Amino acid sequence: TMMYYMMMMMCLVTYMLLSLMRVFKNNPMSYKYLLHGTTLEVMWTMFPAMMLVLMAFPSFVLLYLTDDVVNPAMTMKAMAYQWYWVYEYSDFINDNGETIQLESYIIPDDLLELGQLRLLDVDNRVVIPVDTHMRFIVTAGDVIHCFSMPSLGVKIDAVPGRLNQVSTLVQREGVFYGMCQEICGVGHSEMPIVMECVSTDNFLEWL
Ligand SMILES: [Cu+2]
């Protein structure tokens, strides 16, 4: 049947082409403005082009504005390893004068408790305050990973020897899940991110 339709189409197109050729061959005075209109062509090329340029510039401005990290209130450093995350609160020190940091491992299948999410829950959740302009500094200790929190609109590569920064403002409390999004070895699926957003008071208490 496919061949049948194709033959139909070919016959139709060939017929149209031949009849056009016949008409114009026998016509000593073809009407040239019917076939080609330079003004019209220039107009319908330039108009969309101008529209695209006009749309492009504001969106570039917006794009690069979202990359800017403007005066964050707090910094959290996320370091990726094979296959776990280390979170460091660079702005706070503990009683021994060291920066506060915690390691976050996945809960393996055989240790899961009822209600916990397989391949998604971790032993230590990273806690951040709500309604605070956060800066995440993201890096890795071995291979390239990726810090990805879909519900925060954050996804940035964790590259060894490089500090990538991204800013976000979490506007509601809750638990947010993320994952490593850069294939990093056999444990790639076993290094989820669980982020708990709490009120500032609770956050300071947790620290
Ligand atoms: Cu990874």
Residue 22, domain member (yes or no): no
Q: What's the pLDDT tens digit per position in 136-151?
A: 999 999 999 999 999 9
ipTM of the complex: 0.91
For residue 20, the CA-to-ligand 1 centroid distance in Å is 63
What's the domain range around 181?
A: 75-206
Q: What's the pLDDT tens digit per position in 50-100?
A: 999 999 999 999 988 888 878 889 999 999 999 999 999 988 888 888 888
Mean pLDDT of the chain, nearest integer: 90
Residue 34, domain member (yes or no): no
Of 136, 127, 134, nearest to 201 (Cα)? 127
What is the count of structural domains for the chain? 1
| Residue pair 146/156 in contact by the 8 Å Cβ criterion | yes
For residue 179, the CA-to-ligand 1 centroid distance in Å is 8
For residue 105, the CA-to-ligand 1 centroid distance in Å is 12
Residue 89, domain member (yes or no): yes
Residue 29, domain member (yes or no): no
Residue 171, domain member (yes or no): yes
Residue 1, domain member (yes or no): no
Residue 124, domain member (yes or no): yes
For residue 159, the CA-to-ligand 1 centroid distance in Å is 10
CATH of the domain at 123: 2.60.40.420
For residue 83, the CA-to-ligand 1 centroid distance in Å is 6
Residue 33, domain member (yes or no): no
Q: For residue 33, is pLDDT > 80?
A: no
Distance (Å, whole) CA 72 – CA 165: 11
Q: Dihedrals φ, ψ of 75, to 5°?
A: -120, 135
What integer is the mean pLDDT of 114-134? 91
For residue 195, the CA-to-ligand 1 centroid distance in Å is 16
- Amino acid, single-letter form, for residue 206: W
